């Protein structure tokens, strides 16, 4: 190339190379300082869009896990109430069976009926005052007045509708405890005999409700496990897109630092080329 005063081609090439090296060095240092490979859309536009979708899915599934755990807590509260109701029904059935025996006097039956009545009052208390987060849990329409839907996934279609799984059995059990059993009287032999049949039915209905609640609790346990697996693997996929590889970026930073040093030295030398042209005029 001709020796020129106006255009120092070697210097321009060196400056351009230094600018590119500087950009690469800044990128490597930014990734090392943030820990992310993608710090702006310009770094990887498609990768950013993909990672955003994965992040939204991961966050949604994490919330769904908490939703499922809350659902389990609510169902366990209801199942615990029915468990105690079952114990009370057992005792009431014992009293009815005892009262139905012909050896009892009227006074004996009246005494048995007193305990029976108090147990009935406690059954009514369980049905009325078992609450979760301030809402009555066991109602004539199902759990929390019926129609509760748990959001157990990151999409709107991933739900558990109690109307189709739980409410029917809870409604039947509620009717038995709040209506049928409340009307029983064991102060007479005939009343005690009829109470035995009614209590046997109530025990079966409450047991069915408990079985349904237990089945859904087990289902939610599996839901949580599956969500945890999806969160784990989706997070790993997002990490492969977003996270910086420190080994690669450290190597890149070291390489570009050396290139910057070499380029700066060469630039200093290329800037001296016009001075060589001046020496020809001496």
Compute the half-sphere exposure of residue 273: CA atoms within 13 Å on the CB side of its CA. Answer: 18
Per-residue pLDDT of the chain (282 residues; tens, 9 = 90+): 566 666 677 777 888 888 888 888 888 888 888 888 888 888 889 999 999 999 999 999 999 999 999 999 999 999 999 999 999 999 999 999 999 999 999 999 999 999 999 999 999 999 999 999 999 999 999 999 999 999 999 999 999 999 999 999 999 999 999 999 999 999 999 999 999 999 999 999 999 999 999 999 999 999 999 999 999 999 999 999 988 888 888 888 888 888 888 888 887 877 776 666 666 666
DSSP letters for 21-88: HHHHHHHHHHHHHHSBS-SSTTT-HHHHHHHHHHHHHHHHHHHHHHHHHHHHHHHHHHHHHHHHHHHH
In degrees, rounded to 5, the angle at the alpha carbon of residue 63 between the alpha carbons of residues 135 and 145 is: 20
Is 170:143 a contact under the CB 8 Å cutoff?
Answer: yes
The pLDDT of residue 181 is: 97
Q: For residue 259, what are the CA distances in angstroms to 7, 138, 246, 254?
A: 24, 74, 20, 9
Q: What are phi and psi of 100, to 5 degrees?
A: -75, -10
Per-residue confidence (pLDDT) for residue 50, from 0 to 100:
95
């Amino acid at each position: 190339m001709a020796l020129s005063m106006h255009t120092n081609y070697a210097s321009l090439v060196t400056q351009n190379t230094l600018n590119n090296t500087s950009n690469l060095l800044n990128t490597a240092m930014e990734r090392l300082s943030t820990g992310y490979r993608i710090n702006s859309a310009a770094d990887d536009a498609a990768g950013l869009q993909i990672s955003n979708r994965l992040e939204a899915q991961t966050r949604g599934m994490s919330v769904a896990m908490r939703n499922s755990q809350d659902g389990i807590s609510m169902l366990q509260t209801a199942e615990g109430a029915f468990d105690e109701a079952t114990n009370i029904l057992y005792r009431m059935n014992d009293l009815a069976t005892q009262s139905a025996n012909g050896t009892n006097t009227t006074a004996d039956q009246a005494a048995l009926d007193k305990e029976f009545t108090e147990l009935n009052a406690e059954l009514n208390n369980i049905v009325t005052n078992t609450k979760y987060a301030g809402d009555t849990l066991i109602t004539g329409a199902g759990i929390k007045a019926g129609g509760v839907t748990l959001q157990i996934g990151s999409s709107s279609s991933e739900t558990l509708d109690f109307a189709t799984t739980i409410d029917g059995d809870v409604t039947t059990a509620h009717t038995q405890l709040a209506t049928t059993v409340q009307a029983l009287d064991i102060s007479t032999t005939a009343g005690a005999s009829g109470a035995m049949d009614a209590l046997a039915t109530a025990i079966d209905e409450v047991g069915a409700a408990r079985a349904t609640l237990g089945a859904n609790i087990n289902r939610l346990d599996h839901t949580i496990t599956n969500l945890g697996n999806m969160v784990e693997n989706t997070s790993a996929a997002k990490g492969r897109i977003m996270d910086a590889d420190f080994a690669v970026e450290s190597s890149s930073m070291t390489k570009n630092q050396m290139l910057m040093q070499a380029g700066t030295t060469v630039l200093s030398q290329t800037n001296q080329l016009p001075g060589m042209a001046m020496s020809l005029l001496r």
